[in-house]
Structure 1
Amino acid sequence: MTQTRPRRRPLTHQEKLALQERKQRRREKMEESRELAKGPIDLTFCLLVMLLTAIGLVILLSASFPSAYYEKAPSRHNPLYYFEKQGVFAVLGTAVMLLVSKFNYQRLRGAGRALIYVSVIFLILVIIPHNPIAVTAKGATRWLKIGIQFQPSEIAKVAIITYFADSISRKKDKMRSFRYGVLPYAFILVVVAGLVAVEPHLSGAILILGAGAAMMLVGGINWIWVGTAAGAAVGMVYVALFVIGYNKSRVIYWLDPWADAADKGYQLSQSLITIGSGGLWGLGLGKSRQKFLFLPEEHNDFIFSIACEELGLVGAGIIMLLFAALILRGYWIALHTRDRFGTLLVVGFTTQLAVQVFLNISVVTGLLPTTGISLPFFSYGGTALLIQLAEMGVILSVSRQMKPTKAG
């Protein structure tokens, strides 16, 4: 026996008018958004991104040519191997950034949910034992190779920010309740960041948690939950660093890298030697000594150490000031957007950038234990650079629709 669906109550004349008015308002908002999307991008933010990318390529060329010449089997005796590959992605990424900046960011609404599903599937594929498409390097399985090699955690970062921005922007006052403003987002963060941490990729998990927490805070959650989450985060970091054996050794030799400078503390001790060798003004661009196979990961996670050695405290300080200017400009754009969705998008991507820069510089200078985290726009990694520049393109897209200001 088939069941028949109950008939819906026919709408009254007033309800039909109200529905038509809502549809008309949505059409008007979309039309207004399309017109505003034709406005100029924030030139200051764009120039800062391009300047950092260009400086990053120069430092990468200097830092990478010894290892490219001596170690890279596919192109042995080609000192430009890393630079050429990164240069292609930098040009492509800049084109993608400018292209994305022309899109109306409102079209990203709804894409976050699909990206969450895709990123979770990819993250599960990474941690499945003996998966033929998973790539393991230096004791961690963080990559998938499906035609191209990429880190699913990079997609997860974009997914979290896009979905949170769309969902939080619709809830408004509901964000102050635990049921609607904390629980669903905390669950998503725990699942996604947990999968990333299992790889293991602790720094990637921290980036996801940091961006998500910042967006929830801007979205209006109660400060009580912020304090609770901060306490829980401190507890989890303690467990990760002092209880789990994989990370415990890193903490021991972080506190005293000279205790085993030839083995466990080798990377950090060499990094500190590299930074100290630069002095105030540096040895000169291209004149680093430590990059000649003394400092591991000199063109990747520890590229800032080479910048310190060649450019000195002054040059490294200028690089940090440029990053600070970019981050502050990002938050300035967030303060001048026309809607909550744009504000949350910019806050998410800017916070992620800020946390990543802070963690990388803290690691290479010994302020924090060694973790595998790259320096945006500088470290070698084509797909990571491409995604970073695409994210900057989203911020530029939002900047087209900023509220008018007296001074930009």
Structure 2
Amino acid sequence: MNGEKLRDFKEKHSWKFWMNDREAILGIVVLLLIIGTINVFSSSFVLSETYYDTPYFFLSRHGINVFVGCVCFFVGALVDYHRWRSWIVGIFAIVVIMLIAVLVVGVEVNGAKRWLQLGITVQPAEFAKMLAIFIEAAYISSRVSIGGKCQMLHAQLGVLLLLFILIEREPDGATAALVLGVPMCMLLMSNMARQMKLTLIGMIVLAGGVICILQPYRLNRVLTMLNPWQDATDSGYQIVQSLQAIGSGGFWGMGLGQGISKYHYLPEAHTDFAFAILCQENGFLGAFAVILLFGAFTYYGARIAATAKDAYGQILAAGIVCLIVGQAVANMLMVGGWFPVVGVPLPFISYGGSSLAVSLGAVGILFNIGHKSAPPKTLVTSAPPKNVDVFGRPRLKRIK
């Protein structure tokens, strides 16, 4: 048996946990959604019972959010990812109008205007994240297609700065940083000259320092992160409570629903600090499982990006992976006291409608990129062969 036949034999008879990268991404996200739904209920039923006289208030809303998110996933999975490039101008106009409307007639919570009441509560800044990825992917792919080098300063940067300023005015510094930061990461992964990449990194660090100086409350958050116990009853309260929740979980955890920090000790226990409750109730094992799932998402997402059939698909997929995994890393570092307290949710785990819709829609687009680049033996078509399912696996014959 020669080498080629041996490889074919091994591939045919070897067992695979995932048949292809798209199936892996879908399975990982479904597992995260299940974990997130359980955690949303466990972390919110006390607050829900206190203010809404039912333990299921946030769970029922989360169910609606999951349904809307699944619709967004299917839209992203079924629409050819190249079409989003042709719709950028229209999407940009809608998002900018919504961001301006937020500043004028937005719903104000804790001194910030971030939401629009349109029958349902919508957070337009979340949609700006995906728009920023579309814009940067279009620029980078256009430069690559003509054999040119990407530049640090380009016309699209002005558009991204406009989005950044509008979101920062709400204020929502964390989302504004993502809208500008994820495209910069995409630029660092492009064919831009090495010296220019180093300059860009230096400018990002410098900009962060300037913002902290101009806005002292951001500098205070950094200082609080370094020593939260110095003011454990005020500025460091949330971090201290988060660390206590994580530490009290130990290796095995207190058990589902048994955590005590959600009893009005830890603010935002079902949103930004949902991971702390997950650690308290499921311990190190639960936390490690979530980290492992995001690690697997990174791996399979990177594989889809690497095998995309064109530069636009490659950089768009890379941007989506950076957005979702970047938020996950930032949230877990924040909850663990290694990052300043910012309003970054943990994708698929934290409660939040707009965030979940955008995340699942982005995964749908990633799925579509993988679908377009799939090899013939696993290619998903609108009319799959009768002997295989939608993932390219052989169908079992029915016994008559």
TM range (shorter): 0.7 to 0.9
The Cα of 1:96 is off from its aligned counterpart by: 3.2
8 Å contact from structure 1 (residues 210, 352) kept in 2: no
1:374 is aligned to 2:354? no
8 Å contact from structure 1 (residues 302, 364) kept in 2: yes
Residue aligning to 2:5:
none
**Which amino acid in structure 1 is aligned with residue 133 of structure 2?**
I
The Cα of 1:360 is off from its aligned counterpart by: 0.5
Structure 1 residues 251, 214: closer, same or farther in 2, change over 3 A? closer
1:80 is aligned to 2:80? no
Alignment of 1:160-179 (within 5 A): 160-172=132-144, 173=146, 175-176=148-149, 178=151
Cα distance in structure 1, aligned partners of 2:121 and 2:192: 38
Structure 1 residues 405, 250: closer, same or farther in 2, change over 3 A? farther
Alignment of 1:260-339 (within 5 A): 260-339=231-310
Structure 1 residues 118, 260: closer, same or farther in 2, change over 3 A? same
| 4+ residue runs over 6 A deviation | 405-408
Cα distance in structure 2, aligned partners of 1:174 and 1:211: 23
CA deviation profile, 1:89-118 (whole Å, cap 9, x unmatched): 213322431343122222222112222232
The Cα of 1:177 is off from its aligned counterpart by: 5.6
Structure 1 residues 394, 372: closer, same or farther in 2, change over 3 A? same
Residue aligning to 1:63:
43
Structure 1 residues 204, 177: closer, same or farther in 2, change over 3 A? closer
Residue aligning to 1:225:
196
The Cα of 1:260 is off from its aligned counterpart by: 1.8
Cα distance in structure 1, aligned partners of 2:196 and 2:120: 41
1:204 is aligned to 2:184? no
Cα distance in structure 2, aligned partners of 1:360 and 1:270: 15
Residue aligning to 2:120:
148
Residue aligning to 2:229:
258
CA deviation profile, 1:183-237 (whole Å, cap 9, x unmatched): 2233233222232223221211221223211322334222222222211111121
SS of aligned partner of 1:207: helix
8 Å contact from structure 1 (residues 242, 251) kept in 2: no
Cα distance in structure 1, aligned partners of 2:46 and 2:249: 19
Alignment of 1:5-154 (within 5 A): 42-71=22-51, 76-127=52-103, 131=104, 133-154=105-126
Structure 1 residues 156, 92: closer, same or farther in 2, change over 3 A? closer
CA deviation profile, 1:223-264 (whole Å, cap 9, x unmatched): 222222211111121122344122132223222211221222
8 Å contact from structure 1 (residues 111, 163) kept in 2: no
Give the total of aligned pairs.
Answer: 359
Cα distance in structure 2, aligned partners of 1:168 and 1:356: 22
Residue aligning to 1:15:
none
Name the larger-Rg structure: 1
Structure 1 residues 380, 216: closer, same or farther in 2, change over 3 A? same
The Cα of 1:152 is off from its aligned counterpart by: 1.6
The Cα of 1:310 is off from its aligned counterpart by: 0.5
SS of aligned partner of 2:375: coil
SS of aligned partner of 1:109: helix
The Cα of 1:403 is off from its aligned counterpart by: 4.6
The Cα of 1:146 is off from its aligned counterpart by: 2.9
The Cα of 1:137 is off from its aligned counterpart by: 1.1
- Aligned with 1:159 (options 108, 117, 131): 131
Cα distance in structure 2, aligned partners of 1:79 and 1:97: 28
The Cα of 1:174 is off from its aligned counterpart by: 5.8
8 Å contact from structure 1 (residues 134, 145) kept in 2: yes
Structure 1 residues 149, 95: closer, same or farther in 2, change over 3 A? closer
Cα distance in structure 2, aligned partners of 1:125 and 1:267: 31
Cα distance in structure 1, aligned partners of 2:209 and 2:287: 31
Range that drifts further, 239-248 or 262-271:
239-248
8 Å contact from structure 2 (residues 327, 346) kept in 1: yes
8 Å contact from structure 2 (residues 74, 364) kept in 1: yes
Cα distance in structure 1, aligned partners of 2:158 and 2:127: 18
Residue identity (%): 33
Consecutive unaligned residues in structure 2, runs of 5 or more: 1-19, 379-390, 392-400
Residue aligning to 2:364:
393
Q: TM-score, normalised by structure 2?
A: 0.84
Consecutive unaligned residues in structure 1, runs of 5 or more: 1-39
Task: Give me the CA root mean square deviation.
Answer: 2.1
Q: TM-score, normalised by structure 1?
A: 0.83
8 Å contact from structure 2 (residues 21, 300) kept in 1: no
The Cα of 1:327 is off from its aligned counterpart by: 1.8
